[in-house]
Amino acid sequence: MARTHKKVSVTKKKKPTAWTPVTAAEGVEQALRMLEGRWKFLILFQLFGGKVRRFSELERAIPAVTQKMLAQQLRQLEKDGIVHRTVYPVIPPKVEYSLTPWGQSLCPVLDAILKWAAAREDLQEK
C-alpha cells in the first residue's frame, strides 16, 4: 500500500494594511472573545499595575469564584498571551501570575471603556 504525504502548513492571517468595516468588526470581535468570561475582568483588575499574585491571593480577592473556574480563566488568559504564569520548583508548589506587557496595555483600553459607559449615564441624566 503506497502512502502519499503532503506537508501541511498553517498560513497566518496577515494584518490588513487598511481596516475596512468588515475587517475592523472581525478584529474587535476576536479581541473581545479573548476577554469573554465571567471572571476575566476581575482577574485583570487584580493584576493591573504590575501586581504579582499567587493563586490563593486571587482566590481570596475574588471570593465568589471556584478554584476550577479561576484555574480555567487563568489558563485561557495565559494561552491568549495576556497573563504570565511563573512556576517555582519548590515544595509546596508556588505559582505566581502577572500580566504580560501586552496584557498590561489593556488597562488604558478598559479605562476608556469605563469612561465611555459613564458618559452614557451622564447623558441619560440630562
Q: How confident is the prediction along the chain (126 residues), in pLDDT tens digits per residue? A: 555 555 555 555 666 578 899 999 999 999 999 999 999 999 999 999 999 999 999 999 999 999 999 999 999 999 999 999 999 999 988 999 999 999 999 999 999 999 999 998 777 776
Residues 98, 52: contact at Cβ < 8 Å? yes
Q: Where are the domains of the chain?
A: 38-125
> What pLDDT was estimated at residue 19?
84
Query: CATH fold of 38-125, please?
Result: Arc Repressor Mutant, subunit A (1.10.10)
